[in-house]
Homo-oligomer: A and B are copies of this chain.
Amino acid sequence: MSRRGERPPPEALATLPVAVDAMGGDKAPGEVVEGAHRAATGHGVGVVLVGPPEQVGDTQGLDLLPCTEVIGMDEDPAGSVRRKKDSSLVRAAELVRDGKASAMVSAGNTGATMASALLRMGRLPGVQRPCIATPLPRLGRTPAVLVDAGANAECTPGMLVQFAQMGAAYVSARFGTEAPSVGLLSIGEEPTKGTPLVKETHALLNDEAASGDFEFVGNLEGRDLLPSPADVIVTDGFTGNVTLKTLEGSLRFLFDTLLGVFGTDDETRTASQALLPHLLPLAAEFEPENTGGAMLLGTDGVCVISHGSSNATAMLNAVLVAHECATRGLADHVAAAVRSNEKG
């Protein structure tokens, strides 16, 4: 499925628009178009919307690639991508494949977004399975990334090693991190702790880190995730997805609880006025809309998977991250990271 060598070089990608699935997410098309418009007018990033014109409506002057179909949030990913060949998701992926867009962005059906990117762009050479990299905030520092955040419920040790390589390439390309540190999520620090999958991966990562692309810091536990001492946290997509949603849920629960306390009476409302200026910047670091969304790694082209509840700000940031990563040659870096393993 790979198309090695056909992707335009990074300097050419910089001149291409980002393909935005205008119909993806709970707030499409309104907030999606608004976010794309802000990226184009406020940041000079080219955008091409993809969607059925009559459903998209006002494009705010942005280019639109018309299509006739939309994949719903609850549709079967693989089946819908096979069936709906003229859907906004499939057409967006084809724009990247055909060198007409630098990257794609969607806040729609996550599985269908992955399937579109995988089936239309193809996998990078040597990549067994693409994975999802999701940022975890580290107050005042660049975020850590969790791989795999949910693309692959079942994994082999070899896949987890590739997730580490791809995740390290991603934080290098996006944040400029040199020799990123990689930790393996487990249930104890000792290499003997965990499932056979984790124990075997631990040994492989030790070997792989010797090649020099990343530093392996050993096992991490759930309590180490906020803030993560490692730039990349590797796990299977089942554990990763459960962990990520556990973090999201506990943070939201505590924020809601805190807001409830603030509103108890006049005294607490007054007190909250003194605290909010200090709390809001911290809360902003935990707000998914500010992180640019999750990145699909391992496909032959850049694909950003935004949260289904994305608003215009989230879409703006997703477009900016997609453009930046494409321009910095993310796919080339990921391909090189995986290739270096094949040689070793």
Given A243-B246, A246-B247: A187 in contact with B278 (beta carbons within 8 A): no
Query: Which of the four size classes fits the interface of chain A?
Result: 35 or more
Cβ-defined partner of A252 (8 Å) among B193, B223, B249, B270? B223
| Complex contacts, A227 vs chain B, CB 8 Å | 253
Residues of B within 8 A of A264 (CB): 278
**10 new A-B contacts at CB < 8 Å, known A187-B242, A239-B239, A261-B279:** A139-B257, A187-B245, A195-B238, A221-B249, A222-B247, A242-B243, A246-B250, A258-B258, A267-B274, A271-B272
Interface residues of A (CB under 8 A from B): 139, 150, 153-154, 185-187, 193-196, 198, 221-227, 235, 237-239, 241-254, 257-258, 261-262, 264, 267-268, 270-275, 278-279, 282
Query: Which residues of B sit under 8 angstroms from A245, Cβ to Cβ?
Result: 187, 221-223
Closest residue of chain B to A223 (Cβ to Cβ) is B249
Contacting pair A222 B195 (CB below 8 A): no
Chain B residue at minimum C-beta to C-beta distance from A256: B226
Interface-central residue, A154, A244, A278, by most chain B CB under 10 Å: A278
Min distance, Cβ A241 to any Cβ of chain B, angstroms: 4
B271 A195 Cβ-Cβ under 8 A = no
